[in-house]
Structure 1
Amino acid sequence: MNATPASDGCPPPNPSGARGTQSPKPSQAPQPSQAPGTAEPRTVPRQKSRSLEAGVPRPSTADHRDLLDHPDPHTAAQAAAVENLLRCWVREKGIAAPEQGALRVPLESSGTALLVPVDYWSPTGWHRFGLPYLEDGPNTAPPADAVTVAALLSRETAHTTVPHPAESRLAESHPAESHAIEPDGPEPDGTDPEGYEPDGTDPDEVEANGTEADRTEANVAVRGASRTRAAPTTPTTHEATDGADLVARVADSVRRTADFISDRRNHPADTPDRFLAAEQSLLLGHPLHPTPKSREGLSDSESRLYSPELRGAFPLHWLAVHPSVLVMDSAWTERGRTIPADRLTARLAGPDLTLPDGHAALPAHPWQIRELRHRPETAALLDAGLLKDLGPHGDPWHPTSSVRTVYRSGTPAMLKLSLALRITNSRRENLRKELHRGVEVHRLLRSGLAEQWQAAHPGFDVVRDPAWLAVTGPDGEAVTGCDVMIRHNPFRPDDDATCVAGLVSPRPDPHATGHDRTPTRSRLAAIITRLAGRTGRPRGAVATEWFLRYLQSVVRPVLWLDSEAGVALEAHQQNTLLLLDPDGWPTGGRYRDNQGYYFRESRRGELDKRLPGIGQVSDTFVSDAVTDERFAYYLGINNVLGLVGALGAERLADERILLAAFRRFLRDTASGPDRLRTPLPARLLDSPVLRCKANLLTRLHGLDELVGPVDTQSVYVTIPNPLHA
């Protein structure tokens, strides 16, 4: 992302944090006035011409460039990977904000520390870091790369243990008993962020008239808001791995990210299908995941075909399934009549696919077919003729941002395929209960709930998953990996429907001109900048209004569903699709995912009245305690606070103002005239700490998020709540 002048009243980069292609190495020793083990100013090594206390000279204008814009794609990918690892570590280990421009990360197991230039400190966790240096390395040593950082962080967790979820939630319920939280005091500049009127004049005055001193003080206040530490974890018997897996996957993710950046710089223009273009825009991946683009087991030639970031496309591979091993369900209706799932797949295959009599057409990902041939249960079905390999067939389909869900412009359905690649934290194969869950939610919404929801929020809905096919072995057991979820496609090629993760993800500007400059910024930054130019308003004011519209268009409808039906959505940014008007303002949204539903146990009776027998095979009822924890993370932290952090990190808005706006929205939702009875607003407002998924620790402990009970699939840690006042 390009470093943007702070003339809009947004916090500037840290005074000593200007980033060049290779930053001068920070000092090897902390200043005497600083607490050891936290932070130290960014200074040069001891030299004859400069004392140890001398500050880092600001790089020249030519060098003052975000490393994501570096002309070498591999350097840009390294910078992105290092930032992700450090963001994860800072959040998951509760590392406090530095007083000045460099962060010291102790590495006790290695007897050293990382000295990290800080370009922007975010109260919501979307920090911007320069490349780190080893504290005890020689002055001429280059900065540490992503593989080195991953190996060092792995050593720090080699003998640690995962906290038990119940004990961790106890820490949140009784924070005073588990760890100390520094009391909130007035902001260093004497202001109260709650006093900002997000839709009034104060932000405009700050943005238009704030002095450099004002902005510097505001940045100190933002940094100070994050100085509490996470709760210590409670030991259990689940030890971390040796870190080799993490290091390998970090290297794989960096290599693939470099390929994605290089390809997009050479071919920046988006496809005319707007939904598909948005699905292909998530080049860097989750900003708080250590290996967002690792796809272990995918060759370079396969990556070209199967990666949305490379705009891949491929024909599906088809199997013919004998009726004795076929299992399916459908609630897909046309003109009031249910269409069986096998008829839907036959339509999608087209008339040229020759099927044996009585068999069903089952689409599969081409990579998955290779995997299935080596599995004993599917090999036996192929040998017995109960599965017949029909080969690749039909027009190409395009992978969406999840990699395994495929889309073809103009077709009535998308297909969520099984794919045994490890992507982020899991091997992405459909589970039978998730197939049932997608159809069950569609039937629940058709019971009258959708009409109630649409009456309150006509711009929001769920992308439905109303049909599926799968294979069962002769013993009656599910055959994993041979299944498909048929998802309704509600989008026309000209609909501006974009997943939020792609909207905020930095990428080479598709409208950039010239060959010597490759600006990297998000589409959201382009929208806000264009709206500000068109209206003549400061970007900070436009960004705040955009954020408020997002809360009403997306967040309130999701809260309504929990309030009125007891259904919480796993609405993280990649599962959330935002509908934009021609100017780029939010107008509505869609939720997609047949996995991510939480039926509250306390609302079982109400839901069973709406749909008798609900949850019996889908395993969707979850205790209210777990539901509250996951809902707060996915909607509160990942989605909304992630959006706040993205706007702040690109200098589009002051995060304090956005947090104040979010607090006001939550108060209105909890106690206003149109209040909702979901517990999430009160939780986000009143709890001094929140439970947060720890993607780095989840990876280091070798957990798969699709395996085991929902409350033990991931590592969660306790972090300070930036909304708590």
Structure 2
Amino acid sequence: MHRSPSAEAEVAAELADVRPELASRYAAELPGARAAVLTRLWRALTHEPLPWVTGRERGREGLTLRLSDGRRLHGPHPDPYATATYVTAVRLDETSYDDPARLPAGLSVPHGTSLAAELGHSVASLALSRAGQDAHSKEWPVRDWEWEQRVVDGHPFHPNCRSRPGFSVAEQLAYGPEHRPLVPLGLVPVRADECLVTGAWPQAMRDGERLLIPVHPWQAEHVLKRPRDLCGDGIAAHPLMSLRTLALPEGPHVKTALSARLTSSVRDISVYSIALSATLSDFAETLAARTDGLLHVTRTLGAATANSPDLAAVVRESPQEYAGPGERVVPVAALATTDLPESPAWLAEFTRLALTVGLRLLELGVALEAHGQNLLVVLSASGSPVRLVYRDLADIRVSPARLARHGIPVPELTGRIVTDEVTTLRRKLFGSLVAGALAGTAGSGAALRGALEAVVRDLPGTSDLAALLGEPLPTKALTLMRLSPGTPGDQWAELPNPLVSEVF
């Protein structure tokens, strides 16, 4: 077996200094973290259109990949919708690998060195995240941020699920939501006439003629280089699932710029998204009104940037604003921390709600990026899914042609958000909702197939539904994207459709 000591050893050494009481738990979590990341990597290798994989052969004992150099990589039969860890090692010819960070070097693929470093970070950070956990209470959380902080392992299908390069161990413990800290947001004063502002910037974040822009402390220290050039004592806030979005004490959420590469993306806030935020927020309210009360979209209260993606923030409603008496609003990614998805009837009920809303909006002309972080479900006191809440409109897609066909006024939007390309619209929704949120909740291809079969015949017939029923499911080729630094934009893979494939 091969080992990648660098990232794991670095975290262990830092942990011995800052939290020595976690050292033994961290070491105990490393094998499971390697297997969890390797399971995600095997999914990518078996389904993404990697140019150096020339064939895939299914046998009785697993799947074998034929590589362009003649070698063979063998592993278990893959389930692209499985969230449980089931890959503990793969075999490249006669060499066995149980550490995902060592595999890119063995494969000798272009840009494999950078991917290996990220995989090493992912393993080490995942072990650290798991080491800091106490047993979940059987009682459901009451506060919104408590639900968010139950998601320990990050993205259920991304090999870089916990990659946080540039964050020390002390910073991960101080800022990672799974470690349940209070994060002191800084407030950077900037003259209002030097900023782009949309919506109504909160009065509490003003100082005369200056805006006080909330800044994450990691950003203040490492990017802005001004950790002490702040106004007042700042705001203590609870980090949410994305790490750079936090719940303020009085309720609203604030998305901060965080110019670090987490999972795959650098989490800054573009001037483009600030400029469109108010228009998108108003438009989303109009659109949600066409869902018969099944969907709410959190309103953007204000957005501001000092004309830089490194110094910007968005303040928006908490999804809890849409909870009625006795109800809870739960991020879909956190549903796996409950026993609700274990019931086929509940899973089918949730799937029906999610597809009804998603397909209706797609038919009208809007494709949501409805993954488990952006999509939340309102649960009744008995746990039934009754409505959906959507947040963060920055990466939806809007079709002017479809909107016009349904008599909906086309908002003044520009750039990447606007497209009439059917494939792009379907990839956006199906890749995030079906191959993402629903698959992550179901936990396996068999469970996802059962939920889909229970509901699809009752959905309104549209060309989009026909595509969902009969075509492979799109998903972002996340590993291919990390191995293709010169190719801009999203790249895609096709997963076997659980309604069609006999694999499950």
Q: Pick from 215, 221, 228 the counterpart of residue 364 of structure 1.
A: 215
Equivalent in the alignment of 1:614: 412
Tell me the secondary structure at the aligned position of residue 321 of structure 1: strand
**Is the Cα contact below 8 Å between 1:124 and 1:722 reproduced in 2?**
no
Distance 1:421 1:342 in 2: 27
Equivalences for 1:176-191 in 2 at 5 Å? none
Q: 1:572 aligned to 2:365?
A: no
Tell me the secondary structure at the aligned position of residue 295 of structure 1: coil
2:239 is matched by which residue type in structure 1?
P
Q: 1:660 aligned to 2:458?
A: no
Q: CA RMSD in A?
A: 3.3
**Is the Cα contact below 8 Å between 2:303 and 2:313 reproduced in 1?**
yes
**Is the Cα contact below 8 Å between 1:431 and 1:480 reproduced in 2?**
yes
Equivalent in the alignment of 1:629: 427
Q: 1:147 aligned to 2:106?
A: no
Tell me the secondary structure at the aligned position of residue 146 of structure 1: coil
Q: Pick from 690, 700, 720 the counterpart of residue 483 of structure 2.
A: 700
Equivalent in the alignment of 1:603: 402
Cα displacement string for residues 308-345 of structure 1 (whole angstroms, at most 9, x for unaligned residues): 11112211111111133122111xxxxxxxxx315252
Cα displacement string for residues 114-156 of structure 1 (whole angstroms, at most 9, x for unaligned residues): 44345xx537465753322535547xxx753121224334x2x
Equivalences for 1:93-112 in 2 at 5 Å? 93=49, 98-107=58-67, 109=69, 112=71
Distance 1:469 1:260 in 2: 32
Equivalent in the alignment of 1:681: 465
Distance 2:196 2:202 in 1: 10
Distance 2:79 2:223 in 1: 45
Equivalences for 1:74-93 in 2 at 5 Å? 74-93=30-49
> How far did 1:301 drift?
1.0
Distance 1:581 1:81 in 2: 35
Equivalent in the alignment of 1:497: 329
Cα displacement string for residues 618-676 of structure 1 (whole angstroms, at most 9, x for unaligned residues): 653112332233223222322334444x055xxxx6554334225424xx321xxxxxx
Equivalent in the alignment of 1:440: 279
Distance 2:162 2:121 in 1: 8
Equivalences for 1:147-546 in 2 at 5 Å? 147-153=101-107, 155=108, 157-158=109-110, 242-265=111-134, 272-330=141-199, 340-346=200-206, 355=207, 357-373=208-224, 389-390=229-230, 393-409=233-249, 411-446=250-285, 448-453=286-291, 456=292, 458-471=293-306, 478-491=307-320, 496-504=328-336, 523-524=337-338, 526-527=339-340, 543-546=343-346
**Is the Cα contact below 8 Å between 1:117 and 1:131 reproduced in 2?**
no
2:275 is matched by which residue type in structure 1?
H
Distance 1:272 1:128 in 2: 26
Q: Please, what TM-score do these two structures have when normalized by structure 2?
A: 0.83
Distance 2:26 2:124 in 1: 15
> How far did 1:586 drift?
1.5
Count residues in correspondence.
470
Tell me the secondary structure at the aligned position of residue 460 of structure 2: helix
2:41 is matched by which residue type in structure 1?
L
Equivalent in the alignment of 1:5: none
**Is the Cα contact below 8 Å between 1:87 and 1:125 reproduced in 2?**
no
Distance 1:577 1:72 in 2: 33
Equivalent in the alignment of 2:12: none
> How far did 1:360 drift?
1.7
Cα displacement string for residues 31-52 of structure 1 (whole angstroms, at most 9, x for unaligned residues): xxxxxxxxxxxxxxxxxxxxxx
> Is there any run of 5+ residues in structure 2 with no aligned partner, and where?
2-24
**Is the Cα contact below 8 Å between 1:604 and 1:621 reproduced in 2?**
no
Distance 2:221 2:486 in 1: 25
Tell me the secondary structure at the aligned position of residue 161 of structure 2: coil
Q: Pick from 486, 493, 496 the counterpart of residue 717 of structure 1.
A: 493
Cα displacement string for residues 554-610 of structure 1 (whole angstroms, at most 9, x for unaligned residues): 22122222323x122111222111122233321221111121221113136469963
> How far did 1:105 drift?
3.7
Q: Pick from 73, 86, 92 the counterpart of residue 129 of structure 1.
A: 86
1:399 is matched by which residue type in structure 2?
P
Equivalent in the alignment of 1:532: none
Q: 1:73 aligned to 2:29?
A: yes
Tell me the secondary structure at the aligned position of residue 683 of structure 1: helix
Q: CA 1:104/1:451 → structure 2, altered by over 3 Å: closer, same or farther? A: closer
Distance 1:80 1:123 in 2: 14
Distance 2:361 2:185 in 1: 36
**Is the Cα contact below 8 Å between 1:106 and 1:112 reproduced in 2?**
yes
Equivalent in the alignment of 1:669: 460
Tell me the secondary structure at the aligned position of residue 264 of structure 1: coil
Percent of matched pairs sharing the same residue: 24
> Is there any run of 5+ residues in structure 1 with no aligned partner, and where?
1-21, 23-68, 159-241, 331-339, 347-354, 383-387, 472-477, 505-522, 530-542, 671-676, 705-711
Distance 1:722 1:100 in 2: 20
> How far did 1:292 drift?
1.1
**Is the Cα contact below 8 Å between 1:460 and 1:554 reproduced in 2?**
no
**Is the Cα contact below 8 Å between 1:631 and 1:680 reproduced in 2?**
no
Equivalences for 1:641-652 in 2 at 5 Å? 641-644=439-442, 646-647=443-444
Q: Which has the higher contact order (CA 8 A, sep 6+)?
A: 1
**Is the Cα contact below 8 Å between 1:459 and 1:589 reproduced in 2?**
yes
**Is the Cα contact below 8 Å between 2:245 and 2:256 reproduced in 1?**
yes
